[in-house]
Amino acid sequence: MSRLNRLPAAFTAGVLLFASGVVPARPDAVAIVDAAGRTVRLNRLPQRVMAIGHGPQIIAHLVFMFPEGAERFIGWERRGKTASDFIPLIDPDYNRRLFPLPNAGVEEVAAMKPDLVLMRGALPDPKGEALVKLGIPVIYLGLEDPSQYRKDVECLGAVLGNPARAGEINRFYRERLGRVEKALAGIAESDKPSVLLAMTISRGAKIAVEVPAMPWMQTIQVRLAGGNPIWKEAASVTTGWTVVNLEQIARWDPDRVILVVWHSMDPVKTIDGLASDPRWRELRAVRSGGLLAFPSDLYGWDTPDPRWILGVLWLAKTFHPGRFDGFDMKTDVEAFYHDLYGMSEGEIEAKILPAIRMEYR
């Protein structure tokens, strides 16, 4: 039996989910308004659920917060070297799940006989539309900001027949966001540090710097944590990462530089390399020790992965240490893995804490 089955669970056979919440509907049926604004009606609760498209492991990491996820999630599209570095730690049936190769065709997905496919996005995807034409329902999850996350969790609670567990998950996030909001209450705009949160990518012997779009999770994290995203006028309004040059960064001269480092790049070497560059050393943030890399464990805390809440907590303490006296990041990391995934203290100590990269306390 999966450890997820030890989590509190409740079952409601049939709910109707609107933007305003969940209300009873006829038994064995659900109707969902998804992140793309589509109403998806299912005659019964799905028993074979899978995820495809962009970032399917993010969906998997959320689904496995539900005990029913381990029972009904048959697999997801493999986009990296592995389908997930995390799920094998909590799922004894991991090796028996289905992992179609990247960009699997519609016929290949259909051959796995899912009765529901989950995809990320706020707009219908051509592959998703093709699956619908084959009679396979598709639900889109936004997973890009806290408000949408709440709705997506409620959506999963409905299709998995466990709205009570969805409430527990959302409460975990709401309580921690509330703690940050309370600590930052009354803070003046002038007391918010100017922040450059950027992604560094290797281009031969050079490192390129890119900033996230305004609606993306990384930008939202900075705002929630009481920072001023200094790149807001240069970033894409809607989607994508925007390249910025060092001359632009020098003009901004931010108080803090938080780097989102690709997992393929060593964050320590990246920080050391930039700190040794005479041009970067002219920045206030570098001179004051504000050149930092975003922490990660098996996955980054800066992405729309469920770990985004850990990123908000870390940023808030980093930006405003005086408002978070006695704050212990380790406690929240342990609570995240225990409350949301049912991991024991020993498992967290052995499998999660050693994987955390960069200072995070």
Write down the pLDDT at residue 89.
97
Question: Are 3-180 and 189-355 the same fold in CATH?
Answer: yes
Instruction: Record the tokens describing residue 177, joined without a space.
Output: 């966001």
Measured distance CA(234)–CA(252) in Å, rounded: 11
Write down the pLDDT at residue 27.
65
Write down the pLDDT at residue 119.
98
Measured distance CA(265)–CA(272) in Å, rounded: 12
CATH number of 3-180: 3.40.50.1980
Instruction: Record the tokens describing residue 151, joined without a space.
Output: 């709705």
Tokens 């709705």 belong to residue: 151
Write down the pLDDT at residue 263.
62
pTM: 0.89
Measured distance CA(161)–CA(155) in Å, rounded: 10
Measured distance CA(291)–CA(275) in Å, rounded: 8
Measured distance CA(102)–CA(79) in Å, rounded: 5
Burial of 145 from C-beta contacts in 10 A (0-12 / 13-18 / 19+): middle
Write down the pLDDT at residue 17.
43
Domain 189-355 matching CATH 3.40.35.10: the answer reads no
| Domain coordinates in residue numbering, the chain | 3-180, 189-355
Alpha helix locations (H) across the chain?
56-63, 67-72, 106-111, 126-133, 146-159, 163-183, 217-224, 246-252, 267-275, 284-287, 308-319, 329-341, 345-347
Q: Could you read off the pLDDT tens digit of each residue along the chain, which spans 361 residues?
A: 445 444 433 333 334 443 434 445 556 689 999 999 999 999 999 999 999 999 999 999 999 999 999 999 999 999 888 899 999 999 999 999 999 999 899 999 999 999 999 999 999 999 999 999 999 999 999 998 999 999 999 999 999 999 999 999 999 999 999 999 999 999 999 999 999 999 887 766 677 889 998 889 999 999 999 999 999 888 777 678 888 989 999 999 999 888 887 766 778 888 888 888 899 999 999 999 899 999 999 999 999 999 999 999 999 999 999 999 888 999 999 999 999 999 999 999 999 999 998 765 5
